[in-house]
Structure 1
Amino acid sequence: EVFVFENVIGLAKWAETAIFELKGYKITKNIINSENFGIAQSRKRKIFIGSKKRTIEIKNPIIKSVKSVREVFNSIKDNWGFANH
C-alpha cells in the first residue's frame, strides 16, 4: 500500500503525517520546486509519500538549464502555422 500527498507549503504541516506513521506507514517528506523539473515557473510544494513496505526516496532531478516559455516557442521551427506565436 502506497500513497502520495502534495500540497502548498503554507497549508500542509509535517505533523499531519504522524497518524500515518501510527498506522504503520514509512513516510518520506520533501519540498520540491517545479522549476527543478523543467517547468517555466517556480512553485514550491510539500510532498509526502507513504509506504507500508519500505521508505521511498524522493530524488530531486538535476536540470542544467530552465527554458522560458518564449525560448520554447522560439525553438519551434514553423510555430505550427501560427504567425507571430
Structure 2
Amino acid sequence: MKEARRNSLRRERIASFALIASKNAKRSSIALDIPFEVIRNGIIYQFKEGKMVQKASIERMTADKGRITKGSKICLK
C-alpha cells in the first residue's frame, strides 16, 4: 500500500515538473521569438510571431479492439 502511494506521488510530481518545464519553454520561445509547435484537438499549430497558424492535422487511428485484451502484446511492423 505504501509503495503504491509512493509511486502515485512520484508520478504526480513528474507530471507537475513536466508541465512547469513546458510552460517555461513556451515562455522562453515567445520571449526569444523562436517558433514552436503545439498539438490541440488533432491539429498541429505553429506559433510564430505572436500568431498561431494551422500547419497540419492528425487523423486518429481506429482499430478493431475485439482481439486486444489486457496483457496482450502489440507488435508494430
Structure 1 and Structure 2 fold alike (TM over 0.5): no
TM-score (norm 2): 0.32
Greater helix content: 2
The structure showing larger relative contact order (alpha-carbon pairs under 8 Å, at least 6 residues apart) is: 1
TM-score (norm 1): 0.30
